[in-house]
Amino acid sequence: MSHHLDSELSRRDSRLDLTDQYVFRGTTGTVLVMNVNSSILGDDYQPGFHPEARYEFKVHFDGAAVEDLTYRVTFGSGGLMLVALTGEDARDDAAVGSLVAEGRTDAALAGHHGLRMWAGKVREPFYNDLTLLAALAAAVRDGIRPDLGDWRPENAENAFTDVTVHSIVLEIPDDERFRAGRAIGVWTVTKLPHDGGWQQVNRQATPMLWPLIRTAHHDWAVAANRSHPQNDLRDDGERLAGIIAAVVGAVQTAEDPAAYANALVRRLLPDVLPYRIGTAANFGFAGINGRALADNAVEVMFCRVFNAAVPLGLRPDQNTRRDDFPYVVAAE
């Protein structure tokens, strides 16, 4: 749950709330995973997918500022439908697209040209200690040195061990468009009908960017959720750099906190997850190349934002995933 509850509509309806995104190499192609609707919300949790919403994967090719491919998933009384939109249609909410796959949740679906799809309730693959997150998020918000109290990495507890989310998994086979070595960027978004059109509710790509930095100020997060990644540097670059510079200055881990912050913001924005097709995904300290289900993205982002070692104290094997399609583990 590296992204959560940072727009009004997602707080009203958990089915619209994006929690995580993954991009990695599968057994037959490139895997895109979108997770939504965490049961950790307790009484505010509403099971299932929203029957009126759109859940979309946005794919940029070769460093383009805008998407040239959108996979749109909808869930209605007749089951789920996956359509693909290309070119200008990928950016047009009024475009219809081409049907790729249809069927029911909790079943592996075969789409056109070898595409595979699965959607349903799963055990949460994300892992984090919320005590540590709360302390670090408060430090980022206030621009101060974090106070961890008596928290220690060896005593870390995964708050998501018994949590479920709803997952949409696509595996796109290798072809001319998804050819080995090609650079793509991916982000996900939820949308809801509004005034004869579609309102963007949530968007995400980089894990922990929103709960750790962007939600430091509520109004910024609301505006960003309604925007497109191509506007991120223009709209939020200076503000996010200021937030990071303040906390790095407080912990005194860089000679020039402003320069460090500006460089980091340019690595994180626009908020599109980069991946090179056919390679092993890794969201790590050396760089970002997609994100595998086991990657310790939380620790990586903590360390980057504070420019210091911030051990999470949790291991990838403390949550559940599988090696074969659909890679996530179905839950009751």
- Say yes or no to pLDDT of 152 above 90: yes
Report how far apart the first and last C-alpha atoms of the chain are (Å, whole number): 19
pTM of the model: 0.95
φ and ψ of 162, to 5 deg = -105, 20
The rounded distance, in Å, linking the Cα atoms of 298 and 311 is: 9
- pLDDT > 90: what percent of the chain? 84
The pLDDT assigned to 10 comes to 62
pLDDT tens-digit series, residues 237-291: 999 999 999 999 999 999 999 999 999 999 999 999 999 999 999 999 989 999 9
What 3-state DSSP class applies to 267?
helix
pLDDT tens-digit series, residues 54-76: 999 999 999 999 999 999 999 99
Mean pLDDT of 293-299: 96
What 3-state DSSP class applies to 101?
strand
- Six token digits for residue 54: 């759109």
Domain ranges within the chain, ordered by starting residue: 8-317
The pLDDT assigned to 28 comes to 95
- pLDDT > 70: what percent of the chain? 95
More confident residue, 314 or 44: 314
- Say yes or no to pLDDT of 324 above 60: yes
pLDDT tens-digit series, residues 72-119: 999 998 799 999 999 999 999 999 999 999 999 999 999 988 999 999
The rounded distance, in Å, linking the Cα atoms of 211 and 223 is: 15
The rounded distance, in Å, linking the Cα atoms of 119 and 48 is: 10
